[in-house]
Amino acid sequence: MIKKIISFLVIIIFLFTISALAEDEKFKDRLALIRASQNLSVQEESISENKIAIFVTDFGAIEGEVSIGGSLEISLFNQQTARMLNEIIYLKDKESLAGFLSLKFLYPLEKNLSFYLGAGGEVTGKARYQVFAGFNIVEDFFVEAKYINEEGLVTDSNFYLATGLQLAF
């Protein structure tokens, strides 16, 4: 009878040991998943976010109409605040294209709201330079005011508005 009790106790101790080891293994697996998830989050945050956009503006538009443009925005130095902006705008009044190469600096204000400033040169000869400021209202929508110099003198500059949609990739 004592042998049966001892055998029973050994079996119970053995089962508890196996159960504790199994729980410890589950804990280690869960901990490994949490660490992998955190590493993935850090990697996603460090990935540069480039954007492509389509917008409308009154620059180069015929009276009462708008011109259409597109842009490609590339993160510089793997940062979210400094960007290179390539824009092309179809000028309806001249039936030609204007292209700008600019630098843009973002200032996050809230979760989906950011302010930006930028400046750049025009590369096709249709204008001299632009200075712009705007807001990313939500992740995919922006509004912007542009100060574009078309002839060379400061008095030959005008303000224009632009608004559009952008997609990150």
Number of domains in the chain: 2
Phi, psi of 150 (to 5 degrees): -100, -25
Residues 20, 87: one domain?
Answer: no
Residues 24, 93: one domain?
Answer: no
Who has greater pLDDT, 24 or 156?
156
> What pLDDT score was predicted for residue 164?
96
Residues 91, 36: one domain?
Answer: no
Residues 104, 160: one domain?
Answer: yes
* % of the chain surpassing 90 pLDDT: 44
> What pLDDT score was predicted for residue 60?
85
Q: Which residues contact 76 (CB under 8 A, 6 or more apart)?
A: 82, 83, 84, 103
119 confidence band (pLDDT: 50, 70, 90): very high
Residues 18, 69: one domain?
Answer: no
Give this prediction's pTM.
0.69
Rounded CA gap, 72 and 83, in Å?
A: 10
Residue ranges making up the domain that contains 32: 1-47
Residues 36, 95: one domain?
Answer: no
Rounded CA gap, 75 and 122, in Å?
A: 20
